[in-house]
Amino acid sequence: MLKLDQVYGGYHEDHPVIKGISLTIPKGKMIGILGPNGCGKSTLLKLISGILPLQSGSVRVDDQALVSYSSRQLAQKMAVLPQLHGHSFSHTVRETVSLGRYPHQSGFFSTWSEEDEQVVKQSMRQTGVERYENEDLEFLSGGEQQRTFVAQALAQKAELLLLDEPTNHLDIEHQKQLMDMIQLEVTQHGLTVVSVFHDMNLAALYCDELILLEDGQLVAYGEPYEVLKEQQVEKVYHTEISPVLHPSVPKPQISLMPSHHQQGTHEVTAQMIRILDNYVLLQTAHPLKVISSALHNAGLGWYHTFMNRAVGDDYMCMDAHSEMEQFIQLEGFIPPMTVAMMTAVAAEHAIIRSYEDAGVSIVVMVTAGVGNAVDASKSYLREPFDEVGTINTWVIVNAILTDESFMQAMMTATEAKVKAMADEEIQDHVAQTIATGTSTDSLLIAATQCGEPQQYAGTVTKLGRLIGRGVYEATIEALQDYKRAKGLMK
Ligand SMILES: Nc1ncnc2c1ncn2[C@@H]1O[C@H](COP(=O)(O)OP(=O)(O)OP(=O)(O)O)[C@@H](O)[C@H]1O
């Protein structure tokens, strides 16, 4: 569709802004151009559209040199949305969008066809500006003006759409609407889009491929994961970033790292865990980084309140998640900053221990109720069910953990719990074998993210040794406590 070969161009003959760019853009794809301020993104778009003549090299559209197209032919091939500046406009929305139809008018006395009318209406509808159609553009907001110009570009019904920061001025609702709509044109009608973006995350979400420019040269061109590599982005933008996971779309996303973020130095001690009537509670001055399988706020996140709530054996609730959220709120805590587990074991039975080794310390909290103990390898013998009465484990680490050590900490803690179950000979009454846990166990690993970095937490690492021992010993104590409470042991 579009082929650039050794393109040089700019505003002064001796100082090209774009320096030797070659690339091929296939039909029916959305391509994003990224790069720092002044690197030449808009200039590249102007060279592709022919607004700015090439100094050397070639641009070919559908295998034909750009220069060989008449301006009307070119306008039928490509539509351009330039970067919007603070102009004053003297047209209505409808008049502005209608200008997009000019390449399709023929002859001096061209008439406005039914098709023109339909296309203008459809373009206004797609961009959500139909309701302003008779208003003067100058009285509309920046976002409404931006959408009007996108409508004009769409009305041109070109095969190639060149956009310079199309989401500029748009709030997130309108950014999404616009990008969804453009993506639909690409996937359903084979439109080809080349668009400049500043928002790398938005570009990664919507574009098939990204172009990264630096000082007028091509640094990378490929799928988002090939272009948004941490070190490459940091080098080009001279900014520290961190890759983050999109919760549901397999596209790379990045986050800025504020330079003056205060992490502080803070330590969690066993004394900070309080045993109240209905729950075990930990509150920290700074949020901890957490991974957990808790009932409330499971997964990965930053939280400063931790609750292990005891409920009666008769607890029955259709929607335990929302009931728990209400409970947290009623107790005066902030649900989005709280991780909460549930158990049938009274809070006073919680076992809390701390362990330390050469600069790294952990605090472990365990409650164990094993009325419905299960051997994980034999659980297929049972009907699925969900009962409270569970082993809840917290491991709070005073150190900096990597993702790798969070995952390993979960494994080490689980293995230690399983060993404690075996040594205490806790039975799975259905399978008649030694149980490995219960059907509703929860585990939480939380780290202060200050202190000594711990890359690993496998069983024989410095941290793993603390976790393995700590979870084992606390679980043994909790299990013995349970047995005593049930009269199974003195
Ligand atoms: N009309 C112009 N006349 C002269 N120089 C220009 C003109 N437009 C841009 N430049 C210069 O060309 C270089 C690249 O500008 P361009 O607008 O292409 O960058 P950009 O990557 O789109 O930047 P931004 O992210 O700030 O929009 C800059 O140094 C700029 O000052």
DSSP code string of 338-407? EEEEEESS-GGG-EEEEEEETTEEEEEEEEE--TTEE-GGGGGGS-----S--EEEEEEEESEE-HHHHH
CA separation for the pair 454, 396 (Å, rounded): 13
- For ligand 1, say whether the CB of 52 is within 6 Å of any of its atoms: no
Angle at 277 between CA 271 and CA 280, to 5 degrees: 40
- What does the pLDDT profile of the chain (490 residues) look like in tens digits? 899 999 999 999 899 999 999 999 999 999 999 999 999 999 999 999 999 999 999 999 999 999 899 988 898 899 988 776 556 567 899 999 998 888 877 665 568 888 899 999 999 998 899 999 999 988 888 888 888 988 999 999 999 999 999 898 889 998 998 899 899 989 998 999 999 999 999 999 999 999 999 999 999 999 999 999 999 999 999 999 999 999 899 999 999 988 877 666 789 999 999 999 999 999 999 999 999 999 999 999 999 999 999 998 778 778 999 999 999 999 999 999 999 999 999 999 999 999 999 889 999 999 999 988 999 999 998 877 656 569 999 999 999 999 999 999 999 999 999 999 999 999 998 999 999 999 899 999 999 999 999 999 999 999 999 999 999 999 999 999 999 988 887 7
State in Å: Cα 213 to ligand 1 middle. 13
Q: Helix-strand-coil percent breakdown of the chain, rounded to 5? A: 35, 30, 35
Mutational pocket test of ligand 1: of 8, 17, 165, 213, the residue with most ligand atoms within 8 Å of the beta carbon: 17
SS3 468: helix
Backbone angles phi, psi at 168, to 5 degrees: -55, 135
Beta bridge partners of 60: 3, 65
- For ligand 1, say whether the CB of 264 is within 6 Å of any of its atoms: no
User: Domain 270-485 has what CATH class?
Assistant: alpha beta
CA separation for the pair 437, 418 (Å, rounded): 6
Q: Where are the domains of the chain?
A: 2-256, 270-485
Angle at 115 between CA 183 and CA 51, to 5 degrees: 60
Nearest alpha carbon, ligand 1 atom 30: 38
Please give the biggest Cα pair distance in the chain.
104
- For ligand 1, say whether the CB of 449 is within 6 Å of any of its atoms: no
Nearest alpha carbon, ligand 1 atom 17: 42
State in Å: Cα 279 to ligand 1 middle. 61
**Fold equal for 2-256 and 270-485:** no
2-256 homologous superfamily: P-loop containing nucleotide triphosphate hydrolases (3.40.50.300)
Cα 329 to Cα 305, 335, 354: the distances in Å are 12, 6, 29
- For ligand 1, say whether the CB of 417 is within 6 Å of any of its atoms: no
CA separation for the pair 81, 83 (Å, rounded): 7
- For ligand 1, say whether the CB of 296 is within 6 Å of any of its atoms: no
Neighbour tally for 75: CB within 10 Å: 18
Neighbour tally for 230: CB within 10 Å: 13
